[in-house]
C-alpha cells in the first residue's frame, strides 16, 4: 500500500469568536492558523465525548469553520462559545487548484464555506471571481455578503424564489456558463448538484473541480468508509473505489479539452 499522510497530530484550538451566518449556521473563528491549508481541503474536528467529523476549511488564517447544525457533532460545534476548545487533525485531502483567470464558483448549502476561501485566493492572484449560490430560501443563504465584500460578483438561486433566480443553482450556473465563458467551474454542495454540474460542464467541454462528500471516519484513506458510490463514480467519470478523503474531496475533470 502507498504511504498515507495521516494528517499529523491532533491539535487543540480555542474558539476566539463566533459569527452567526443564519438560523442554523455559525462560523467558528479559532485562535491559530493552518498556514499550509489549500481551499477545498478539510479538517477532522473532535469534541471529547461527542465525536469526530470532517469540516471544510472556511479560512486558514485564522482557522475558521462554518458549521450547520443538523445533528450530534454539528449541534455541539455550532453552539460553542469563545474560550471553549476543539481538537483538529489536518489539513487533509486534495483541494481546488486555480486554472486560468475567469473562475466560476458554485455553492449549495454549507458548500459555500470553502468557496469563500477559494475566492480569496483567486482574487489575491488577480483572477476574476463570479459565484452562483444556491439555497432553499433567502434565509438559508450563506456567505453572500462576505463574497461580495471581498470583490466577487455573486448571483443567487433560491428554490422558493424568495431571492434571485427561482429554481436550482445548476440551472442558473448553466446560464452563467453561456454568458460568462469561465475557464473553470469549482463547486461544493450536495451530491445531486455536483452530478448535474458534471453533466453541464461535460456538455460545454468546460473543466470542472467538484468537491464530493462521503461518510468519513479515519479521514486519511485507511477505513474505506468514504468510498463514493459506484453509481456516482460511473455517472461523473471517476474510477470505482474513489475515496473522498484521500483521492478528493475535490475531483478534477478536464472537460474533454
Ligand X SMILES: Cc1cc2nc3c(=O)[nH]c(=O)nc-3n(C[C@H](O)[C@H](O)[C@H](O)COP(=O)(O)OP(=O)(O)OC[C@H]3O[C@@H](n4cnc5c(N)ncnc54)[C@H](O)[C@@H]3O)c2cc1C
Residues at the contact surface with ligand X, assessed by CB under 6 A: 42, 53-56, 66-68, 70-75, 110, 113, 213-214, 216, 244, 249
Closest CA to 132 of 102, 152, 161: 152
Please select the residue that binds ligand FES; options are 123, 168, 223, 232, rule is CB under 6 A: 223
Q: Does 225 bind ligand FES (CB under 6 A)?
A: yes
What secondary structure does DSSP assign to 91-114, as a single string? EESB-----SSEEEEEEEGGGHHH
Q: Which of the listed partners (ligand FES, ligand X, none) does 8 bind, with a CB threshold of 5 to 8 Å by partner kind?
A: none
Residue nearest to ligand X (CB): 71
Q: Which of 6, 109, 116, 106 is nearest to 59 (CA)?
A: 116
Query: Quick count: other Cβ atoms within 10 Å of Cβ 79?
Result: 12
Is residue 233 a contact residue for ligand FES (CB under 6 A)? no
Q: How far, in Å, CA of 167 to CA of 222, rounded?
A: 39
Nearer to ligand X, 6 or 70 (CB): 70
Least Å distance, CB 143 to ligand FES, is: 26
Q: Could you tell me if 137 and 131 are in contact, meaning their C-beta atoms sit under 8 angstroms apart?
A: no
Which letter, b or e, does each residue of 240-256 get, where b requires 16 or more Cβ atoms within 10 Å of its Cβ? eebbbbbbbbbbebeee
**Regarding beta strands 153-158 and 128-135, do their DSSP bridges make them parallel or antiparallel, or are they unpaired?**
parallel
What is the β-pairing status of strands 153-158 and 64-68? unpaired
By CB under 6 A, name the one of 47, 222, 232, 233 that touches ligand FES. 222
The whole-angstrom separation of Cα 109 and Cα 112 is: 6
| Per CB under 6 A, 24 contacts ligand FES | no
249 lies in the binding site for ligand FES (CB under 6 A) = no
| Contact partner at residue 53 from ligand X, ligand FES, none, CB < 5 to 8 Å by partner kind | ligand X
Q: Residue 177 or residue 243: which is nearer to ligand X going by CB?
A: 243
Residue in 168, 217, 232, 233 binding ligand FES, rule: CB under 6 A: 217
Candidates 216, 228, 236, 238; binder of ligand FES (CB under 6 A) is 216
Total residues binding ligand FES (CB under 6 A):
13
Alpha helices in the chain (DSSP H): 72-78, 112-124, 144-149, 169-180, 191-203, 230-236
Shortest distance, position 220 Cβ to ligand FES, whole Å:
7
Chosen residue from 189, 221, 248, 249 binding ligand FES by CB under 6 A: 221
Residue 219 in the binding site for ligand FES (CB under 6 A): yes
Binding site for ligand FES (CB under 6 A): 216-219, 221-226, 243, 245-246
Amino acid at each position: 500500500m502507498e504511504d498515507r499522510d495521516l494528517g499529523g497530530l491532533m491539535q487543540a484550538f480555542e474558539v476566539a469568536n463566533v459569527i452567526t451566518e443564519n438560523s442554523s449556521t455559525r462560523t467558528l473563528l479559532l485562535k491559530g492558523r493552518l498556514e499550509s491549508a489549500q481551499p477545498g481541503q478539510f479538517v477532522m474536528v473532535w469534541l471529547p465525548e461527542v465525536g469526530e467529523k470532517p469540516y471544510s476549511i472556511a479560512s486558514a488564517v485564522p482557522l475558521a469553520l462554518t458549521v450547520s447544525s443538523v445533528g450530534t457533532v454539528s449541534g455541539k460545534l455550532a453552539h460553542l462559545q469563545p474560550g471553549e476548545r476543539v481538537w483538529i487533525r489536518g489539513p487533509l485531502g486534495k483541494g481546488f487548484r486555480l486554472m486560468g483567470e475567469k473562475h466560476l464558483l458554485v455553492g449549495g448549502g454549507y458548500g459555500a464555506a470553502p468557496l469563500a476561501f477559494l475566492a480569496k485566493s483567486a482574487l489575491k492572484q488577480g483572477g476574476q471571481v463570479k459565484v452562483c449560490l444556491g439555497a432553499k430560501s433567502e434565509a438559508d443563504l450563506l456567505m453572500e455578503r462576505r463574497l461580495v465584500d471581498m470583490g466577487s460578483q455573486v448571483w443567487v438561486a433560491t428554490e422558493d424564489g424568495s431571492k434571485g433566480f427561482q429554481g436550482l443553482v445548476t440551472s442558473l450556473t448553466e446560464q452563467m456558463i453561456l454568458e460568462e465563458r469561465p475557464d473553470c467551474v469549482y463547486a461544493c454542495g450536495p451530491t445531486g448538484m455536483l452530478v448535474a454540474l458534471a453533466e453541464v460542464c461535460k456538455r460545454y467541454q468546460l473543466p470542472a473541480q467538484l468537491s464530493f462528500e462521503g461518510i468519513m471516519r479515519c479521514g486519511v484513506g485507511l477505513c474505506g468508509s468514504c468510498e463514493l458510490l459506484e453509481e456516482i463514480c460511473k455517472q461523473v467519470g471517476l474510477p470505482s473505489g474513489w475515496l473522498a478523503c484521500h483521492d478528493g474531496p475535490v475531483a478534477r475533470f478536464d472537460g474533454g479539452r
